[in-house]
Chain A
Amino acid sequence: MSRFRRFLRTPEAVAGAIILAALIAMALSASLLFPGDPQAIAGPALLPPFQDWSLPLGTDRLGRDVLAELFHGARTSLAVGLAAAAAALAVGSVVGTLAGFAGGFIDEVLMRITDAFQTVPSFLLALAFVSVVGPSLGIVVIAIALGTWTGPARVARAEVLSIRERDYVASARAIGMHPLAIAFREVLPNALPPVLAMSSVIVAAAILTEAALSFLGLGDPNRVTWGGMIAEGRTVLRTAPFLSIVPGIALVLTVLGVYLAGEGIVETTAVRRGLQ
């Protein structure tokens, strides 16, 4: 448990962990604290924050409870961010491992496909994908993953290129292990640490991309999203700026929390590896 203690000694990591814990608590408690539809009308329209304590953060243009929307929005942001990052890391590390380990023609083909994805701006790719297939939570996750798997793929390939020359890969071949088993049992797990180090940046980027898609009206229409809330508030930005500011702050804190906690984890594991 010394790794956990070392994690706690890094102040930014602790700050990040607290923010993330609060966020996860928000997401988990959303339907407990705010049962029912967060998109239902709860009071008078455009009630400013801190006026009515049954609606602490006020209401939006249609009289919906902003605090309830914020809690339910945390769910979407976290779910999409984590799922998209997990998909991107999984696809990226598998593609990178196959390319690096197989080499030759397979490497060429896979890396040219990676290049093709990388040359298209990832946000445009997500935008195009969602507008063609239609907005739903799963599609948004795939759309974001489409634009972000190339980074992990390149890092995994570079790592695999060095690992495949190691003696333990030669000894796995010498005992007659199947090449795919070597790639995924011997090589991939050892190539993962630098790939996983990218995960905080990818989660943060995925949350922002989701918010941006929702802002443009391409999020899942049946779910509250912070991006969608900001878009809603934009129309009354002069008279009720809090409608954009509140979800905006939530978004900034989330991205910051993910990033700080991720950095903290990378830092502590790096120290650990340095000691060995």
Chain B
Amino acid sequence: MSLLAVSNLTKRYRRGGKSIAAVDDVSFHIDPGETLALAGPSGSGKSTIARLVLRLVEPDAGRIEFEGDDFLALRAAALRARRARLQMVFQDPLAAFNPRATVARVLDDPLRIHGIASRSERPRRIAALLERVGLAAELASRAIHEISGGQRQRVAIARAVATKPTLIVLDEAVSALDVSVRGQILELLLDLQRQERIAYLFISHDLGVVRAVAHRVILLDAGQIAESGDARAVIDAPRSAIGKALVAAAPRLHGTRR
């Protein structure tokens, strides 16, 4: 049974009196421990799908099954409790945190909300989480705006794994980082996946990164699935017009790690 099964997902936005489908009848599934990449040009609906899957935005039509349950049927408290299993890492590591927060507070929130650790136990848990993502435990007392972009994204990943999720949505999670940091963060993500069997919905416009980390890929165009399949096969020999255009536009395809 798949971890996440999305069927016929549709989201329309009204713009200037016209209704535009940002996501148009999209279906896919993710298995436990798998990385599914969503790639496509800007405006193809990648980020909207991310937000729909997390129910940060409500779909107009379609079904989302997560861990065998109808995710769209969950209400209020039941939904908040289930969110522990399904986390997200955002593109801009500065915008994703309350500007007044410290690292400790950011990591304390999920532990407190989901009752994962008692008040006295939390500082130790926070230190362990920081170490898990390759940061020094002393960083906990620092303000979010005082640490570097790469460190911030590691904190974002620590926050996402704090609740032991089975699926993490990575919305352009490495796009805003510089190249050397990007490689380290991707390593960290792959390591976490190997150890804890976390599945990723990996959203990116960078086909080189997608080819390196994803098992399967879906290419989106104007809210619809243009092509899907094994990541390397699709990127090495795209059949759809948008796939060919994306591969041609990529400066060079590097990395064959996996």
Interface presence of A168 (CB below 8 A): yes
- Docked-complex contact B83 and A174, CB < 8 angstroms: yes
Q: Whole-angstrom distance from the CB of A194 to the nearest CB of chain B?
A: 15
- Docked-complex contact A173 and B95, CB < 8 angstroms: no
Contacts of A189 in B (CB 8 A): 98, 100
**Option from A172, A173, A176, A276 in Cβ contact (under 8 Å) with B81:** A176
Interface presence of B16 (CB below 8 A): no
Interface presence of B163 (CB below 8 A): yes
Contacts of B154 in A (CB 8 A): none
Q: Whole-angstrom distance from the CB of B166 to the nearest CB of chain A?
A: 14
**Option from B88, B92, B113 in Cβ contact (under 8 Å) with A177:** B113
Chain B: CB-nearest residue to A181:
B113
- Docked-complex contact A174 and B88, CB < 8 angstroms: yes
**Option from A174, A178, A190 in Cβ contact (under 8 Å) with B56:** A174
Chain A: CB-nearest residue to B159:
A175
Contacts of B95 in A (CB 8 A): 166-168
What does DSSP make chain A's interface, helix, strand, loop or mixed? helix
Once A166-B95, A178-B80, A186-B98 are accepted as A-B contacts, the answer to whether A172 and B56 lie under 8 Å apart by CB is: no
- Docked-complex contact A174 and B80, CB < 8 angstroms: no
Interface presence of B128 (CB below 8 A): no
Chain A: CB-nearest residue to B89:
A171
Once A170-B90, A173-B56, A174-B56 are accepted as A-B contacts, the answer to whether A190 and B114 lie under 8 Å apart by CB is: no
A166–B91 Cα gap in the complex (Å)? 12
- Docked-complex contact A175 and B109, CB < 8 angstroms: yes
- Docked-complex contact B97 and A175, CB < 8 angstroms: no
A176–B82 Cα gap in the complex (Å)? 8
- Docked-complex contact B98 and A190, CB < 8 angstroms: yes
The interface size bin for chain A is 10 to 19
Contacts of B98 in A (CB 8 A): 168, 172, 186, 189-190
Once A167-B96, A168-B98, A190-B100 are accepted as A-B contacts, the answer to whether A176 and B113 lie under 8 Å apart by CB is: yes
- Docked-complex contact B96 and A171, CB < 8 angstroms: yes
Interface presence of B17 (CB below 8 A): no
Q: Whole-angstrom distance from the CB of A186 to the nearest CB of chain B?
A: 5
Contacts of B87 in A (CB 8 A): 174-175
A79–B88 Cα gap in the complex (Å)? 49
Once A175-B87, A175-B163 are accepted as A-B contacts, the answer to whether A168 and B97 lie under 8 Å apart by CB is: yes
- Docked-complex contact A174 and B100, CB < 8 angstroms: no
A178–B113 Cα gap in the complex (Å)? 9
Interface presence of B54 (CB below 8 A): yes
Q: Whole-angstrom distance from the CB of A164 to the nearest CB of chain B?
A: 12
Once A177-B113, A190-B98 are accepted as A-B contacts, the answer to whether A171 and B90 lie under 8 Å apart by CB is: yes
Contacts of A177 in B (CB 8 A): 80, 109, 113
**Most chain A beta-carbon neighbours within 10 Å: one of B83, B98, B109, B156:** B98
Contacts of A174 in B (CB 8 A): 54, 56, 83, 87-88
Interface presence of B126 (CB below 8 A): no
Contacts of B156 in A (CB 8 A): 171
Q: Which residues of B contact A (CB under 8 A)?
A: 51, 54, 56, 79-84, 87-88, 90, 92, 95-100, 109-110, 113-114, 145, 156, 159, 163
23 A–B pairs (Cβ distance < 8 Å), ordered by A: A167-B92, A168-B96, A168-B99, A170-B56, A170-B88, A171-B156, A171-B159, A172-B98, A172-B109, A174-B54, A174-B88, A175-B83, A175-B159, A176-B79, A176-B82, A176-B83, A176-B110, A176-B113, A177-B113, A178-B80, A189-B98, A190-B98, A276-B145
Given contacts A175-B84, A175-B109, 6 further A-B contacts (CB under 8 A): A168-B98, A170-B88, A172-B98, A174-B54, A175-B110, A176-B79
Q: Which residues of A contact B (CB under 8 A)?
A: 166-168, 170-178, 186, 189-190, 276
